[in-house]
Amino acid sequence: MTPSLAVDPYFHSQFEGTAPLAAHRVAPRPDPFDWWVKLVRVEPRPSPDAQRRIQEIRTLTGWSDRQIARALGTSHPTVAAMMLGRLGRLGHRARISTTYDVVARIYALCERDVEATDRVLAFSGSDGAPSPLDLLSRDEPSAAYLAAIDRIRPRRQGLMTGSRPAVPGLATEDLARE
């Protein structure tokens, strides 16, 4: 009688070749670096765009959360929540983006001076015109940019002025005619 293959997995028969290897399994080797407590791998992630832009506005102007909130047309607790990554309304991202664009351009025009940028954006002039900060709070970024340019480089009196106004949206003629 021949020995059974199920009993002896190492039995080599001249008729069947080698015994099935499924019966012979090796226990996995223990990992020397395997801990009984598994730590979560934390991948660093870049800060979201809104948080980065609010931080840049703070850096370029030296504004507090209240002043940034005034420019964005919201409250300072909302700005603090935005810095933590919580955005309330969808319109906040657009307001942050347009405010950042205006502030960054004014900062460049003020020769990268934080105090000058703050003065230009907060200055409301003697003629009663609103400050660029007030215009930003009303969500009028192009008017705020033009008002800031007028504060940086005031128009000279007595010079000829063009027929096209410097106020956006009030032009009466197309700039390019065919």
Output the pTM of the full model. 0.61
Six-digit token pair at 52? 């980065």
Q: Which two tokens stand for residue 122?
A: 């907060």
pLDDT on residue 154: 77
What pLDDT is attached to residue 94? 86
Structural domain boundaries in the chain: 49-152
Please give the full DSSP string across 52-76, using - where no structure is assigned: HHHHHHHHHH---HHHHHHHHTS-H
**List of the chain residues with pLDDT < 70:** 1-27, 32-47, 87-88, 125-126, 156-178
pLDDT given at position 150? 86
